[in-house]
Structure 1
Amino acid sequence: MNHDHGMGGMAPATQSTNGTSGMHHHGMMMMMHMTFFWGKNAEILFPGWPGSRAWMYGLALILIFVLAFLVEWLSHSNHLIKRGSSNVSAGLLQTFLHAIRVALAYLVMLAVMSFNVGVFLMAVAGHTLGFLLFGSTMFKKNTEVLSYEKTSDLPPMSC
């Protein structure tokens, strides 16, 4: 009789007093933070990545920043689809760009779910700089934004 309750042979999670949760898996204890924490010893997106090296953690933070920045660029770009394109090709390109934007946004969200403060700050910074450069009126030639003006090839994110 199987008593693992659908957890694939893994014991149930245990909660500690320092905000971490652990799962026993084949004799190894895997720690997972459940509260915000500072530090380079984080696990972001993939098991064992970025590891315990400071330069790998820095690289991971840069990657998160770039992903968030790209989400904003895709959200506010209005030059990717050429005027005069057929409806079919324009629709397929819009759909492809939407899929890329959603995938990148979910990767940023999953990285933030590592509960690492550095990752959170870099995601916010990437979204902020991306919006400043591509979404705000600061760098637009005409500072008066008309309500009927098309500001993006893609519909707004509605997460």
Structure 2
Amino acid sequence: MAEEHDHGAHMHMPPSDGSMSKHRMMHMSFYWGKDAIVLFSGWPNQDLGMYVLALLSVFSLAVAVEVLSILPAVKPGHKPIAGGLIQATVYAFRMGLAYLVMLSVMSFNLGIFIAAVGGHAVGFFLVKIRALAKAKPAHETMSSTALITPKV
């Protein structure tokens, strides 16, 4: 007997409890709605409040990925192995969060996708605004050197 294949936007997945009696659908294309499964089986479980929590969680994870992109500076005098270990630990944590965001986006839910992209954008903005605030504007450095340099 030949099997019928569903070539539509869904893929039949057996339930996680091991029973084969009922099937649930896994989306294989983008869709709107709160009926997503994000990271954990049964979450947010078509509950609007939990779906909003999932959106905020993915947004926060994406912001954290960008903020952690600034590795801690290794200060002179520290042992290179200790500094490298600290940077490697932060990097591993950042990559773990990035993979969680990626897996969330693989739910194919547009709300989750928008939350992830928005979180990355906000995190990038926070990182860049901090870097720009630390950098001295060119006109400040020009005027301070002009005052110090004697005219000949």
Superposition RMSD on alpha carbons, in Å?
2.4
- Map 1:83-102 onto structure 2 (within 5 A): 83-102=76-95
Is 2:24 the partner of 1:33? no
TM-score of the superposed pair, with normalisation by structure 2: 0.77
Instruction: State the distance in 2 between where 1:95 and 1:13 align.
Output: 49
TM-score of the superposed pair, with normalisation by structure 1: 0.74
Instruction: State the distance in 2 between where 1:13 and 1:64 align.
Output: 36
Percent identity between the two aligned chains:
42
Within the candidate set 16, 23, 28, 2:13 is matched to: 23
Within the candidate set 61, 85, 93, 2:55 is matched to: 61
SS in structure 2 at match of 1:28:
coil
Counterpart contact for 2:37–2:44, Cα < 8 Å: yes
- Count the aligned residue pairs: 132
Work out which of the two has the higher radius of gyration on C-alpha atoms and give 1 or 2: 2
Deviation of residue 76 (structure 1)?
2.5
Deviation of residue 23 (structure 1)?
2.5
**Structure 2: which 5+ residue stretches go unaligned?**
139-152
Give 1:74's aligned residue.
68
Instruction: State the distance in 2 between where 1:61 and 1:83 align.
Output: 41
Within the candidate set 110, 120, 131, 1:117 is matched to: 110
Deviation of residue 41 (structure 1)?
0.8
Counterpart contact for 2:30–2:109, Cα < 8 Å: yes
Counterpart contact for 1:71–1:127, Cα < 8 Å: yes
Give 2:150's aligned residue.
none
Instruction: State the distance in 2 between where 1:117 and 1:48 align.
Output: 18
Residues 37-87 of structure 1 deviation map (CA, whole Å, 9 limit, x = unaligned): 0000110111111111100000000000000000000002545x5553211
**Structure 1: which 5+ residue stretches go unaligned?**
1-11, 146-159
SS in structure 2 at match of 1:56:
helix
